Chains A and B, each alone.
Chain A
Amino acid sequence: MAGAVIIVHPSDIVRTGIEAILKNNISVEVLCFSTPEELNQVERSFYSELVLILSCSYNNHETVTNFRAQTQRILIVGISAKEKSNTTHDFFDTVFSLCTTKEEIATKVKQFLNFDKANDADDELSLREKEVLRLIALGHTNKSIADSLFISTHTVISHRKNITDKLGIKSIPGLTVYAIIQKIISQSDIVKDKLI
């Protein structure tokens, strides 16, 4: 059983664009079609997880509805031709608009297909990440972590994201406890009542 992304859109530009974004970021199978009817060609039982990205105009299309019902895990994403779309549509789990960045698209797909987890089964942190984690646990802000490690705030944020992805621990108190357990910081490093 495998995961894949299917793009259904009449526009060549849109299809090719999204496909390129995905291929550059994730090694995932991508199928492209210009009409929803072509979805019937897909061997559904082969995929346990699908991300279906399609033009917002296909909402409630029968073929798509069947797809949702018959796939174990599916994320249906609408593509809106508007610059910004804050329409939350019942039919779509989420909507990408013209303003959605390539990072957002890649992250969304990765998260749903659990790529981060699959690739980082190893939850060993790098030395740099441990250093960042130590400072997070001691209560430092992104800015002050950046200053003390001579890196940009942007880099700090990306380290934080990697730490969270590797460990599966997302809150600052949670990360602090992790740091104590792994002896990255000692309990006495933290003022007692500020502990967590």
Chain B
Amino acid sequence: MKEFRKDDRMASLISANHYLLPVIHRFGIRLGFKNKTVAELCAKYKINSDFFIAIVNSFHNPNYFPEEKLLSFSPLLIIDYLKKTHRYFVRYSLPGIEKRLHQLQLSSPEGSHEMLSIENFYLEYKKKLLAHIADEEERVFPYIVGLISSPESIENKKLHLSFEEEHHNVDLEIDDLKNLLIKYTNPVYDELICNELLIEIFRFEKDIIDHARIEDNILIPQVNQIQNQR
């Protein structure tokens, strides 16, 4: 699979993989790229172009994960990106899925419990995911920022950090949601809505797996390293 470079045109990234659109958007780079390269646009928007290209490449190719490269960036930069991704999930991905799921439920015959229970399943999933995100934003990220900016304020308070189990559960449930829809529902509902919903779930799943991978394999090891140096 192709590895993007800083002298590639930004527009060519999108042509190669349109799933990158939200990733690029997350960095604050707006459409209307003209023929500008990645490096030029990063300079214009004051973005670390090495970081941008590493994130884009690892998103583009799930088998490419430049761990060493990514570990070399400041945790603050990474947290900033993770927060932007959270915002995207909360404001866009989750409401989008929820809306389609509800339409789907409304399109199935009255008295059919199937879609209602799937909708409930999703709402419970969403609750858990939002709680997880809130925990990261309110407890974990501020702790890390403190650790870096004013380490003296954090007296020996070692926070044991591991998200792997929570991430694993979140992955399982979104996968179950897909399987329930694909394999086990009676197609008495509007299938076009269901197709769109599934496409949206697949997209979200890819996004959230990439997100969790950065947290588990980059941010947490960085923090452990800082803690051990103290």
Q: Interface size on B (CB < 8 Å)?
A: 21
Are A170 and B180 closer than 8 Å at their CB atoms?
A: no
| Chain B residues proximal to chain A, CB less than 8 Å | 113-114, 116-118, 120-121, 124-125, 169, 172-173, 175-177, 179-180, 183-186
B contact residues around A173 at 8 Å (CB): 121, 124-125, 173, 176
A176 vs B113: C-alpha distance when bound (angstroms): 13
A contact residues around B172 at 8 Å (CB): 170-171, 174
Are B113 and A180 closer than 8 Å at their CB atoms?
A: yes
Given A180-B113, A187-B113: A195 in contact with B180 (beta carbons within 8 A): no
A146 proximal to B (CB < 8 A): no
Are A181 and B169 closer than 8 Å at their CB atoms?
A: no
Are A177 and B180 closer than 8 Å at their CB atoms?
A: yes
Are A181 and B180 closer than 8 Å at their CB atoms?
A: yes
A contact residues around B177 at 8 Å (CB): 174
Are A170 and B175 closer than 8 Å at their CB atoms?
A: yes
List residues 162-181 of chain A with CB under 8 A from any CB of chain B.
167-171, 173-174, 176-178, 180-181
B contact residues around A167 at 8 Å (CB): 179, 183-184
Are B180 and A196 closer than 8 Å at their CB atoms?
A: no
A contact residues around B173 at 8 Å (CB): 171, 173-174
Contacts beyond the supplied A176-B117, A181-B180, A181-B186: 6 A-B pairs with Cβ under 8 Å: A170-B172, A174-B121, A177-B117, A178-B180, A180-B113, A196-B117
Are B117 and A174 closer than 8 Å at their CB atoms?
A: no
Are A178 and B125 closer than 8 Å at their CB atoms?
A: no
B contact residues around A181 at 8 Å (CB): 114, 117, 180, 184-186
